[in-house]
């Protein structure tokens, strides 16, 4: 089931680099099509948007069927079990508590040159949340995207969600209602990103677009950078597990499978120093898949993107993990604390056998919206900081100009900016 890469092979390092680079391609073959959709919605507004809603979302009469109504939400909540609603409530509470402790505080810098610099953290005014709804439905993504924005202080939050043939997971609507989101649009794909970026006659533009989606959404978010802020360009989901033979191979297999079930392009990788352990995990995968509802998706995912990397010693595992820079990294080996200290490139790290990645997807508290495609090397997971701006207020006094003005004049003149220098010189004369 898994593809094997062994350190005994001569081309081992090359294979690791190839594996890391294989995730970087963001489906350029759809770039032109996405560009056309973005351009049409930008220029055509509602007319173009409604056309795509009919063609791509299967929404009939979109001009009168654009919003999720309160009646829709009420009916959806009635279909949800009490247990599922309680679980959502607990997850919401934990996510709020975690992000509240993230919030930075305003600060004041002052020195003996009579300079005072106040730094304030100001929330963005509006957020557009893309809620995925393709091959699977994710009520958890509603909480993981909206709550950090609310904690940061964003007041205007709207959501778009694909509703193929006007169908939607009731628990998704229940989650949106739990977060008190009233502006919810039945739009998916790149045309949703266009509407949020430039606005239409009905939909107002936003300051930032967040949330994972399919390759059309990822490509659209890539193309609108510069017109609107985005959280990140999310690709297929990923997990990398570092494990020795002290771990339970059934548990390791289950964790790999849990990621592979997202879709056929998800990636699941095991690094181990024991090939016999890797084979035990492989056999457990085969047994477990036969009992799962999404077995075909899992099988295809692991066939194409499932790997067992066998190394001589797990001390090498941190270097490999940092090269791949996975979205999720699970360290399930005996010496997990030693390895964890060496990791610098990962969206999120789970340590110890009692912390499966699936817990992080739902209930632990940090957001599960994380960088993929190796972007953990330069991006962090979604947090309150995505929705905040720093603003500084600077005040000096006469003494400041007298002491810091002359060197500032020198620097201005070195750059050939006489007007800059003059604005300081005039005050030095006073």
Residue 338, token pair as written in the block: 């030693």
Walk me through the domains of the chain, giving residue ranges and CATH numbers.
3-25+236-365 (3.40.50.1980), 28-225 (3.40.50.1980), 397-429 (no CATH)
Tokens of 172: 């998704």
191 is catalytic: no
**CA 32/CA 219 separation, integer angstroms:** 10
Q: Is 328 considered catalytic here?
A: yes
Out of 99, 191, 262, 328, which one is annotated catalytic?
328
* Assigned token pair, 144: 């993981």
Residue 107 reports pLDDT greater than 80: yes
Q: Which residues are within 8 A (CB) of 118 and not within 5 positions of it... i.e. 6 or more apart?
A: 106, 107, 108, 392, 393, 394
- SS3 label, residue 388: strand
C-alpha of 368 from chain center = 7
Give 295-348 pLDDT, tens digit per residue. 999 999 999 999 999 999 999 999 999 999 999 999 999 989 999 999 999 999
Say which of 327, 337, 413, 420 is annotated catalytic: 327
pLDDT in tens, 355-394: 999 999 999 999 999 999 999 999 999 999 999 999 999 9
Distance CA 322, CA 347 (A): 11
Please, which residues have CB within 8 angstroms of residue 358's CB and are 6 or more apart in sequence?
255, 258
* CA 163 vs CA 53, 60, 82: distances in Å: 9, 11, 24
Average pLDDT rounded to a whole number, residues 24-44: 86
Per residue in 243-267, pLDDT (tens digit) is: 999 999 999 999 999 999 998 999 9
- Tokens 């592979």 locate to 260
Position 164 scores a pLDDT of 82
- Least Cα distance to 265 among 216, 302, 294 occurs for 302
């Amino acid at each position: 089931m898994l593809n094997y890469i062994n350190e005994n092979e001569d081309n081992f390092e090359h294979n690791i680099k190839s594996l890391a680079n294989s995730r970087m391609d963001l489906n350029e073959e759809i770039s032109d099509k996405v560009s056309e959709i973005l351009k049409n919605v930008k220029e055509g507004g509602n007319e173009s948007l409604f056309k795509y809603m009919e063609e791509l979302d299967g929404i009939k009469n979109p001009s009168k069927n654009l919003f999720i109504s309160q009646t829709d939400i009420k009916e959806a909540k009635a279909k949800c079990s009490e247990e599922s609603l309680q679980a959502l409530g607990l997850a919401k509470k934990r996510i709020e508590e975690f992000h509240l402790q993230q919030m930075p505080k305003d600060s004041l810098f002052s020195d003996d040159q009579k300079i005072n610099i106040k730094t304030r953290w100001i929330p963005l005014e509006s957020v557009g949340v893309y809620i995925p709804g393709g091959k699977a439905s994710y009520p958890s993504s509603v909480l993981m995207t909206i709550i950090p924005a609310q904690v940061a202080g964003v007041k205007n939050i709207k959501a778009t969600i694909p509703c193929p043939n006007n169908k939607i997971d009731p628990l998704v609507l229940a989650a949106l209602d739990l977060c008190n989101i009233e502006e919810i649009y039945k739009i998916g794909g790149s045309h949703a990103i266009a509407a949020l970026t430039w606005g239409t006659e009905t939909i107002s533009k936003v300051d930032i677009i967040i949330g994972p989606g399919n390759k059309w959404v990822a490509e659209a978010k890539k193309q609108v950078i510069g017109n609107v802020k985005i959280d990140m360009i999310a690709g297929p989901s990923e997990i990398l597990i570092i494990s020795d033979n002290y771990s339970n191979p059934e548990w390791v297999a289950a964790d790999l499978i849990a990621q592979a079930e997202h879709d056929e392009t998800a990636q699941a990788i095991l690094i181990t120093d024991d090939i016999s352990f890797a084979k035990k995990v492989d056999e457990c995968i085969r047994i477990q898949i036969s009992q799962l509802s999404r077995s075909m998706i899992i099988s295809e995912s692991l066939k194409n993107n499932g790997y067992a990397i066998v190394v001589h010693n797990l001390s090498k595992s941190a270097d490999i993990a940092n090269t791949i820079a996975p979205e999720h990294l699970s360290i399930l080996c005996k010496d997990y604390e030693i390895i964890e200290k060496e990791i610098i490139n990962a969206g999120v790290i789970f340590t110890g056998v009692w912390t499966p990645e699936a817990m992080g997807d739902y209930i632990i508290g940090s957001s599960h919206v994380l960088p993929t495609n190796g972007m953990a090397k330069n991006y962090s997971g979604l947090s309150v900081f995505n929705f905040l701006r720093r603003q500084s207020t600077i005040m000096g006094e006469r003494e400041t100009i007298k002491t810091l003005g002359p060197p500032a004049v020198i620097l201005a003149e070195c750059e050939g900016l006489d007007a800059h220098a003059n604005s300081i010189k005039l005050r030095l004369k006073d």
